């Protein structure tokens, strides 16, 4: 083969290798982009569910206070607010079903079952450790290191206001 033929062959092979490299890089970028979008959807589903649970717990605590201070005439309005918060949490829970692994779904179900009770039977002291566990498994799934703190303050405040939610502090989650 002549040197010109080798030069043409080298150019053709170089162009082919460059094209293959671009296809591979584009494919890898596409996979990364889809993974990033899925993780963003998962993170938002987690935030929405936690916000929904917090709103539902707040509605329960407010309902307990109203019923205790205003009597049975406050029950209907308090129940309506609790139901609205529950519906918002259920909508967020639907997205958990799509994006969350089984461990997160199970922790969410345990917490949901504790919160979705009759207003008079709700016990914040039982909900807080479940809420902490849910946050811990969500953080683990998202690859976020550290412990879950802050619920002792909420429990203490709620206990002082409502007279419910006392008891020992839950141990910090790793």
Among left, alpha and beta (phi > 0; psi -120 to 50; other), residue 168 is beta
14 belongs to a structural domain: no
23 belongs to a structural domain: no
Report the pLDDT value the prediction gives residue 120, as an integer from 0 to 100: 61
Report the pLDDT value the prediction gives residue 148, as an integer from 0 to 100: 64
Report the pLDDT value the prediction gives residue 149, as an integer from 0 to 100: 57
Is the Cα torsion angle 105, 110, 111, 117 positive or negative in sign?
positive
107 belongs to a structural domain: yes
Record the tokens describing residue 161, joined without a space: 């206001």
20 belongs to a structural domain: no
Is the CB of residue 158 less than 8 Å from the CB of residue 61? yes
CB-based contacts of 131, cutoff 8 Å, min separation 6: 53, 57, 111, 151
Report the pLDDT value the prediction gives residue 101, as an integer from 0 to 100: 92
Report the pLDDT value the prediction gives residue 119, as an integer from 0 to 100: 56
Chain CA centroid to CA 4, Å = 64
Report the pLDDT value the prediction gives residue 15, as an integer from 0 to 100: 79
Task: Going residue by residue through the chain, which has 174 residues, state the pLDDT in tens, using 9 for 90 and above.
Answer: 788 877 877 777 787 777 777 777 777 777 788 888 988 988 999 999 988 888 888 888 888 788 788 877 777 787 788 888 888 888 888 888 889 999 999 999 988 887 766 556 677 778 888 888 888 899 889 888 766 655 454 455 555 554 544 444 444 444
58 belongs to a structural domain: yes
Report the pLDDT value the prediction gives residue 102, as an integer from 0 to 100: 92
18 belongs to a structural domain: no
Report the number of distinct structural domains present in the chain.
Answer: 1
152 belongs to a structural domain: yes
Report the pLDDT value the prediction gives residue 35, as an integer from 0 to 100: 85
**pTM recorded for the entire structure:** 0.65
89 belongs to a structural domain: yes
Instruction: Identify the residue whose tokens are 């619920």.
Output: 151
Domain that holds residue 148: 37-162
């Amino acid at each position: 083969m002549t040197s010109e033929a080798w030069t043409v062959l080298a150019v053709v092979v170089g162009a082919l290798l460059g094209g293959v490299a671009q296809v591979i890089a584009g494919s890898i970028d596409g996979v990364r982009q889809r993974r990033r979008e899925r993780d963003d959807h998962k993170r938002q589903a987690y935030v929405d569910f936690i916000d929904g649970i917090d709103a539902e717990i707040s509605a329960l605590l407010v309902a307990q206070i109203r019923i205790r201070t205003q009597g049975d005439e406050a029950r209907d309005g308090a129940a309506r607010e609790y139901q609205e918060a529950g519906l918002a949490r259920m909508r967020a829970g639907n997205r958990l079903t799509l994006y969350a692994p089984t461990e997160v779904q199970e922790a969410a179900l345990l917490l949901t079952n504790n919160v979705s009770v009759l207003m008079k039977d709700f016990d914040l002291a039982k909900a807080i450790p479940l809420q902490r566990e849910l946050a811990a498994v969500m953080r683990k799934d998202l690859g976020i290191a550290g412990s879950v703190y802050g619920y002792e303050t909420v429990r203490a405040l709620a206990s002082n206001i409502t007279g419910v939610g006392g008891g020992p502090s839950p141990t910090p989650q790793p």
